C-alpha cells in the first residue's frame, strides 16, 4: 500500500499536466460568476449603494455578513495547519496545503468586500496612515482601522506560510520538466538547491511562522467581532463576541477544508493520498468546534435572557421567536443538531458523513453571521425608527460571485501547484527514517532537491 517516492511525485504532479473537459467547464462557470460580480459592482459604482437593499437603519447586511463569513473561512487553513505542525501530527501531511490555500484565497476575498461596500471606494486609501500634507491621520480608535491592519498582517503571514513549504516542490518540478515549465518553476523555486543550509532555514522559518500565525489568526477574528462589540447596539455590545467569533471562524473553516478536500480527492483522483482517516480526524475536530459553538451560543443567549434588558430582549425575541426565527432555528439545526450525531457516531463519521456535516455547517455559519448583523440593526432602541431589510439582485450577485471567485482561485491554484506537499509526504515515508542527520559542510549539494535530509520532515 505504501507508495514510493517516484509514485508520489508522479501522482501529485499529474494534475499540472493533464487538464480534462470538466476542469474547463468549471473554470468557465466560475469565471462567469466572477464576471457577473464585477458587472454588478460596476453598476453599483455608477449608481451608488442605493442599488443594494440597505436602508436607514440597516446600514450593513449582506456585505458585512459575507465579509465576516469569508474571514471566518480563512481561519481553516493557516490555524489548523500551524497547530497540527506544532503538535507534530503526522497525519497532517496531505492536508496542510489545501488548508493554507483556503486561508489565502478566502482572506483575499474577505479583504476585497469592505472596499466594495464603502460608499466611496475610490477614497479607500484614507484608511492607510500615510503622511498627508494636511497632517490628517486615520482614527486609530476605530475597530475598522484595527481590521485593516489585522487583515493585512494575517494576509502577509498566510501568504508566506503557504509559499514557504511550496518552494521545495517547485524545485522538484523544475528538476523533472522541460520547456516553459522549467523556466516558470525555476523562477518560482527561488534558487532552491536542497542544501542542508536551505533545509535548515526552511525549517526555522516554518517553525517561526507556525508560532507567529496562531496569535495573529486569533486576533483577526477577535477584531472582526469588535466591529460589532465596540458599539452600544443591542446584542452586539457583549464581551463574549471575541472568543465566540474565533470559535465560529475555526468551525466554519474546518468545514470548508473538509469540503475542499473531498472535491480535490474526487476530481484530482487523490483517493490514495486523502484517506478516510484524514476526514475522520478532521471530523473529530469539527465535532469539538460544533460543541464549542453551541456552548458559546447558549451562554450568550442565556446571559441576555437573565439580563432582561428591554432593547436586548427585543432583538432576542425578534431573532428566536419572531421574524428571524426560521433562520435562527435553521442555523441551530445546521450547526448543531445535524452535524453532532453524524460526527459523534463512529460509523457515520465517513467521508460522506463529514461532507454532509460540513455542508450544513457552512450554511449554518453564514446564517449565524447574518443573524448577528441584521436583526440588531432592524430593532435598535427607538421603535419609531425600526426598519426592514431585503437584499436586491446586486447583493445576491455579489455574494454568488464571491463563491465563484473562491472556486476559481482554487481551480487555478491546483493547476500550477501540487495540492499535496510532495516533499512532506516523502519525508513521512519509511525509507526516510534510517537517514542519519550528519554534519554536512555548508554548500554541499549532493542531496537531491526533492529529499529532505531531516527524518520526519523539516517542519516540526
Partner 1 sequence: MPHKWAMVIDLDRCTGCEACVVACHAENNIPTAGEDQAARGRTKHWIRVERYWEGEFPNARIRFQPVLCQQCDAAPCEPVCPTYASYHTSEGLNAQVYNRCVGTRFCANACPYNVRFFNFYNPVWEKPLNLQLNPDVSVREVGIMEKCTFCVQRIHGAEIQAEAEKRELKDGEFNPACVQSCSPKAMVFGDLNDPASEVSRLAKSGRNTKLLGELGTLPNVNYLERNS
Considering the complex, state which of residue 186 and residue 387 has its C-beta at the smaller distance from partner 1.
Answer: 387
Binding residue (CB under 8 A) for partner 1 from 1, 22, 123, 436: 123
**How many positions of this chain bind partner 1 (CB under 8 A)?**
45
Does residue number 55 form part of the binding site for partner 1 (CB under 8 A)? Answer: yes
DSSP 448: -
Using CB under 8 A, which residues numbered 358 to 397 contact partner 1? 377, 380-385, 387-388
Nearest approach in angstroms of CB 240 to partner 1 is: 19
Name the residue nearer to partner 1 (CB basis): 58 or 407.
58
Member of 114, 157, 453, 457 binding partner 1 (CB under 8 A): 114
Nearest approach, Cβ of 55 to partner 1 (angstroms)?
Answer: 3
Contact pick of 1, 119, 277, 439 for partner 1 (by CB under 8 A): 119
- The grid coordinates of residue 325 equal 426565527
Of the ranges 15-23, 124-132, 330-338, 397-405, which one interacts with partner 1 (CB under 8 A)?
A: 124-132
Q: Which of 128, 120, 132 is nearest to 148 (CA)?
A: 128
Among 16, 26, 145, 152, binds partner 1 (CB under 8 A): 145
For partner 1, give the closer residue by CB, 123 or 436.
123
- 456 binds partner 1, rule: CB under 8 A: no
Q: Among 139, 178, 308, 446, which residue interacts with partner 1 (rule: CB under 8 A)? A: 139
Query: Residue 136: is it exposed, middle or buried by C-beta count within 10 angstroms (0-12/13-18/19+)?
Result: exposed
Window 179 to 208, contacts with partner 1 (CB under 8 A):
none
User: Least Å distance between CB 111 and partner 1?
Assistant: 15
Identify the residue among 7, 19, 142, 433 touching partner 1 (CB under 8 A).
Answer: 142
Q: Does 118 bind partner 1 (CB under 8 A)?
A: yes
Q: Which of 49, 205, 337, 348 binds partner 1 (CB under 8 A)?
A: 49
Q: Among residues 36, 86, 159, 230, which is the contact residue for partner 1, using CB under 8 A? A: 230
Nearest CB to partner 1, comparing residues 60 and 294: 60
Binding mask 28-47 for partner 1 (x = CB under 8 A): -------------------x
Closer Cβ to partner 1, 64 or 343, answer by number? 64
Minimum Å distance from CB 364 to partner 1? 24
Smallest gap, in angstroms, from Cβ of residue 184 to partner 1?
39
3-state secondary structure 31-50: HHHHHHHHHHHHHHHHHCHH
Does 138 bind partner 1 (CB under 8 A)? Our answer is yes
Please tell me whether residue 238 binds partner 1 under the rule CB under 8 A.
no
Is the Cβ of residue 252 or residue 304 nearer to partner 1 in the bound state? Answer: 304
- Per-residue 3-state assignment (H helix, E strand, C coil) for the chain: CCCCHHHHHHHHHHHHHCCCHHHHHHHHHHHHHHHHHHHHHHHHHHHCHHHCCCCCCCCCCHHHHHHHHHHHHCCCHHHHHHHHHHCCCHHHCCCHHHHHHHHHHHHHHHHHHHHHHCCCHHHHHHHCCCCCCCCCCCCCCCHHHHHHHHHHHHHHHHHHHHHHHHHHHHHHHHCCCCHHHHHHHHHHCCCCCCCHHHHHHHHHHHHHHHHHHHHHHHHHHHHHHHHHHCCCCCCCCCCCHHHHHHHHHHHHHHHHHHHHHHHHHHHCCCCCCCCHHHHHHHHHHHHHHHHHHHHHHHHHHHHHHHHCCHHHHHHHHHHHCCCCHHHHHHHHHHHHHCHHHHHHCCCCCCHHHHHHHHHHHHHHHHHHHHHHHHHHHHCCCCHHHCCCCCCCHHHHHHHHHHHHHHHHHHHHHHHHCCCCCHHHHHHCCHHHCCCCCCCCCCCCCCCCCCCCCCCCCCCC
* Binding residue for partner 1, selected from 136, 187, 190, 211, defined by CB under 8 A: 136
Of 22 and 123, which has the nearer Cβ to partner 1?
A: 123
Count of CB atoms within 10 A of residue 446's CB?
A: 7
Shortest gap between Cβ of 227 and partner 1 (angstroms)?
7
* Residue found by looking up cell 489545501 in the block: 98
Residues that bind partner 1 (CB under 8 A): 47-50, 53-60, 114, 117-120, 123-124, 126-127, 136-139, 141-145, 148, 227, 230-233, 377, 380-385, 387-388
Amino acid at each position: 500500500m505504501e507508495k514510493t517516492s517516484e509514485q508520489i511525485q508522479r501522482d501529485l504532479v499529474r494534475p499540472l499536466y493533464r487538464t480534462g473537459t470538466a476542469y474547463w467547464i468549471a473554470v468557465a462557470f466560475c469565471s462567469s460568476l466572477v464576471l457577473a460580480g464585477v458587472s454588478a459592482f460596476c453598476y453599483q459604482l455608477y449608481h451608488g449603494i442605493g442599488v443594494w437593499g440597505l436602508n436607514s437603519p440597516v446600514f450593513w447586511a449582506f456585505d458585512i455578513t459575507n465579509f465576516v463569513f469569508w474571514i471566518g473561512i480563512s481561519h481553516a487553513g493557516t490555524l489548523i495547519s500551524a497547530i497540527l505542525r506544532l503538535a507534530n501530527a503526522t497525519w497532517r501531511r496531505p492536508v496542510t496545503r489545501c488548508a493554507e490555500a483556503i486561508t489565502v484565497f478566502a482572506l483575499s476575498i474577505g479583504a476585497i468586500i469592505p472596499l466594495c461596500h464603502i460608499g466611496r471606494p475610490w477614497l479607500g486609501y484614507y484608511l492607510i496612515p500615510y503622511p498627508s500634507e494636511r497632517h490628517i491621520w486615520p482614527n486609530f480608535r476605530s475597530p475598522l482601522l484595527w481590521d485593516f491592519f489585522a487583515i493585512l498582517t494575517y494576509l502577509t503571514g498566510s501568504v508566506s506560510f503557504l509559499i514557504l513549504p511550496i518552494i521545495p516542490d517547485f524545485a522538484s518540478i523544475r528538476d523533472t520538466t522541460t520547456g516553459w515549465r522549467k523556466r516558470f518553476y525555476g523562477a518560482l523555486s527561488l534558487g532552491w538547491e536542497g542544501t542542508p543550509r536551505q533545509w535548515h532555514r526552511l525549517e526555522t522559518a516554518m517553525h517561526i511562522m507556525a508560532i507567529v500565525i496562531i496569535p495573529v489568526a486569533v486576533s483577526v477574528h477577535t477584531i472582526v467581532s469588535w466591529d460589532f462589540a465596540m458599539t452600544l447596539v443591542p446584542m452586539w455590545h457583549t464581551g463574549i463576541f471575541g472568543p465566540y467569533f474565533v470559535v465560529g471562524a475555526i468551525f466554519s473553516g474546518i468545514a470548508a477544508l473538509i469540503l475542499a478536500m473531498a472535491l480535490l480527492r474526487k476530481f484530482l483522483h487523490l483517493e490514495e493520498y486523502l484517506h478516510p482517516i484524514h476526514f475522520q480526524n478532521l471530523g473529530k475536530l469539527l465535532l469539538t468546534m460544533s460543541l464549542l459553538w453551541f456552548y458559546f451560543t447558549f451562554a450568550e443567549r442565556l446571559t441576555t435572557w437573565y439580563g432582561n434588558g428591554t432593547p436586548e430582549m427585543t432583538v432576542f425575541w425578534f431573532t428566536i421567536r419572531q421574524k428571524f426565527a426560521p433562520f435562527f432555528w435553521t442555523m441551530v439545526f445546521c450547526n448543531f443538531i445535524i452535524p453532532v450525531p453524524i460526527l459523534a457516531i463512529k460509523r457515520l463519521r465517513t467521508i460522506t458523513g463529514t461532507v454532509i456535516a460540513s455542508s450544513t455547517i457552512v450554511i449554518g455559519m453564514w446564517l449565524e453571521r447574518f443573524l448577528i448583523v441584521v436583526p440588531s440593526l432592524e430593532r435598535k432602541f427607538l421603535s419609531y425608527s425600526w426598519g426592514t431589510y431585503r437584499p436586491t439582485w446586486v447583493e445576491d450577485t455579489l455574494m454568488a460571485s464571491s463563491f465563484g471567485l473562491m472556486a476559481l482561485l482554487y481551480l487555478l491554484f491546483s493547476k500550477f501547484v501540487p495540492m499535496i506537499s510532495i516533499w512532506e509526504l516523502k519525508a513521512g515515508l519509511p525509507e526516510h527514517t534510517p537517514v542519519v542527520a550528519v554534519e554536512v559542510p555548508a554548500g554541499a549539494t549532493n542531496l537531491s532537491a526533492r529529499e529532505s535530509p531531516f527524518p520526519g520532515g523539516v517542519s516540526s
